[in-house]
Amino acid sequence: MDVKIDILTLFPEMFDVFNYSIIGRALKNNILTINTFNIRDFTEDKHRKVDDYPYGGGAGMIMSAQPIVDCIKKVKANNSGNVIYLGPRGKTFDQSTAKRLSKEKELIFLCGHYEGIDERVYKYIDMEISIGDFVVTGGEMACIPIVDSICRMIPNVLSSSESYTEESFYNGLLEYPQYTRPEYFRGDGVPEILLSGHHENIRKWKRAKSLVMTRDKRPDLFEKISLSEEDKELMESCEKNDKY
């Protein structure tokens, strides 16, 4: 399945990061296509301006509607996906949103800049996404982690050894602690249960550790979890003797 993602931006070079690592491999294997379009190429201004002062006054500059809308229309000719704007009004991006968007065949991302976009652009936008209640330099900074998070859940992007299903947040929990060689490092050893080869006990240990870690580190996530009877027993055992 070839998934097409088009990104509208003033700084296409910032997305060279996708040519490396896991996403770069997926691009080479034609699992993904990621294109960038320079919004500046669509301006009708002879000086290639894409911004102007806000009506009514105020600090900073606003991205003009014309180059953005014309860029969207050009991309829409070959991409029927939703237009997603990276902006502060949107719902905060999370793993459930990533899962949903990873099932789409085509997506279009619009990166704003300066103090934002002309309000009249919104009629061409299908969805707005935020990465949190803080300010970044431009939409590119938000777009990169969002696209990466979506792409890694597209079938065949990750190998079986890189499965995302046990990663933090996928099932609403933080990931359990992980260890690699050597077995002892400066006096600290790997938990014996991980060396036992007993798959069921290891499963229980991982589940217990994920639950306890989420409760202690991210109580906001833990509150949303429906605990099974086994979950409660595993957490109790973990608290009592750290068996799990």
Summarize the annotated binding site as residue ranges.
Answer: 112, 131-136
Interior angle at CA 126, CA 125 and CA 129, nearest 5: 90
Contacts 24+ apart (CB under 8 A), 210-217: 210/173, 210/174, 210/175, 210/176, 211/173, 211/235, 211/238, 212/238, 212/239, 213/173, 213/174, 213/176, 213/177, 214/172, 214/173, 214/174, 217/174
Write phi, then psi, for 72 (nearest 5 degrees).
Answer: -60, -45
| Residue 106, H or E segment | strand 106-111
Give me the residue label for tokens 């790997």.
190
8 A C-beta contact, residue 151 and residue 21: no
Binding residues for S-adenosyl-L-methionine: 112, 131-136
8 A C-beta contact, residue 238 and residue 208: yes
Give me the residue label for tokens 């080479």.
28
8 A C-beta contact, residue 173 and residue 212: no
Interior angle at CA 53, CA 47 and CA 57, nearest 5: 170
